[in-house]
């Protein structure tokens, strides 16, 4: 298991020698998880069944892969680096496990992922966010993902309202999934060691998903967290916010009616409407950093009911 060449990100020249003569590129996020106790703990916390198909991202030399193969029905490993692919093939060659391992060579962010029950991954830090949302958009829904992230990113995923790390990432992820922190992993458990510590997080997609448009939701959350410690009243008084909402309103109305909307007094009316909605819901003096999922759902429903949209 390795912070992996499962993606093409990173192009530095810093190298480190490892057993077997393979050179690892720290700048690409190639870090072998060398502690067998942590490998075993990750497998246990994944809650695998003997019938499971497991997606592993960035298997590296296969330290985690061989443990997953002992438990799961099949492991599908996505790996970009052809050297790692050869090493993984060599490692299982001639064993019963070889028939239960499928290797996909390619960039995980550009790969159409097959069906899987559980994802287990130790990923390059630089793809954390796009990979998380790629997985959460995968259909059919998987049961769980157990992923090693940079510690700070992991803490943002699980952060709750009023936590200093609570942010747009926290709100968006927790709309789509239940997220739990499982395990802290110090940097010295890797070879070569990364600059920062890591954490293992469990992500369970919500099923059914909340009945909201994610584009609308993200549009609202993005506005609110641009200045998360300002009151919502202050945010929605800003000229650029009013203009954005007005543009979206016009686009929606034009699509519905097939005609343009006049400008006369519309921006002033839009601003008054936004503040009225906030005041009615008692959100005028509240801050995004302390709003719950239910608060954002209520806000979005109130705005949409009044014809206010955050995506065009």
Rounded Cα gap, residues 312 and 307, in angstroms: 12
Q: Is 33 annotated as a binding residue?
A: yes
Rounded Cα gap, residues 255 and 303, in angstroms: 18
3-state DSSP assignment of residue 114: coil
The CA-CA-CA angle for residues 169, 135, 154, to 5°, reads 40
Q: Is 223 annotated as a binding residue?
A: no
Element (H, E) at 272: helix 266-280
Torsion of CA 225, 229, 235, 237, to 10 degrees: 180
Rounded Cα gap, residues 113 and 12, in angstroms: 28
Q: Is 79 annotated as a binding residue?
A: yes
Q: Which residues of 130-166 are buried (b: 16+ CB within 10 A; e: fewer)?
A: ebbbebbebeeebbbbbbbbbbebbbbbbbeeeeeeb
What are the strands, taking DSSP E only, across the chain? 2-3, 15-17, 23-25, 31-33, 53-57, 74-79, 101-105, 118-122, 144-150, 177-185, 190-191, 198-205
Query: What is the pairing mode between strands 198-205 and 144-150?
Result: antiparallel
Q: Taking the mean position of all CA atoms in its chain, how far away is CA 47?
A: 20
Q: What is the DSSP letter of 96?
A: G
Strand order from edge to edge, sheet including 118-122: 101-105, 74-79, 53-57, 118-122, 144-150, 198-205, 177-185
Q: Is 285 annotated as a binding residue?
A: no
3-state DSSP assignment of residue 84: helix
- Taking alpha carbons only, the member of 296, 306, 288, 295 closest to residue 248 is 306
Residues of the binding site: 31, 33, 58, 79, 107, 122
Residues of the binding site for S-adenosyl-L-methionine: 31, 33, 58, 79, 107, 122
């Amino acid at each position: 298991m390795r912070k992996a060449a499962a993606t093409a990100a990173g192009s530095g020249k810093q190298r480190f020698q490892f057993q077997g003569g393979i050179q690892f590129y720290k700048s690409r996020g190639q870090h072998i998880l060398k502690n067998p106790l942590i490998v075993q703990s990750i497998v246990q916390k994944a809650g695998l069944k003997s019938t499971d198909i497991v997606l592993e991202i960035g298997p590296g030399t296969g330290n985690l892969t061989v443990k997953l193969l002992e438990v799961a029905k099949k492991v599908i490993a996505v790996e970009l680096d052809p050297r790692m692919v050869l090493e993984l093939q060599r490692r299982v060659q001639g064993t019963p496990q070889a028939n239960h391992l499928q290797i996909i060579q390619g960039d995980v962010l550009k790969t159409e992922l097959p069906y899987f029950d559980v994802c287990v991954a130790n990923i390059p830090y630089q793809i954390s966010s796009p990979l998380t949302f790629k997985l959460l958009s995968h259909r059919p829904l998987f049961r769980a993902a157990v992923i090693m992230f940079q510690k700070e990113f992991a803490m943002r995923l699980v952060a709750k309202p009023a936590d200093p790390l609570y942010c747009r990432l926290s709100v968006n992820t927790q709309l789509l999934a239940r997220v739990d922190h499982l395990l802290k992993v110090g940097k010295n458990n890797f070879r070569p060691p990364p600059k920062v510590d890591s954490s293992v997080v469990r992500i369970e997609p919500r099923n059914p998903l909340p009945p909201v448009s994610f584009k609308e939701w993200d549009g609202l959350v993005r506005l609110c967290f641009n200045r998360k410690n300002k009151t919502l009243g202050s945010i929605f008084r800003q000229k650029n916010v009013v203009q954005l909402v007005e543009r979206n309103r016009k686009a929606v109305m034009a699509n519905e009616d097939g005609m343009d909307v006049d400008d006369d007094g519309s921006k002033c009316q839009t601003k008054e409407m936004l503040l009225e909605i906030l005041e009615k819901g008692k959100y005028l003096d509240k801050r995004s950093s302390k709003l719950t999922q239910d608060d954002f759902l209520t806000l979005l429903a109130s705005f949409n009911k009044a014809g206010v949209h955050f995506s065009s």
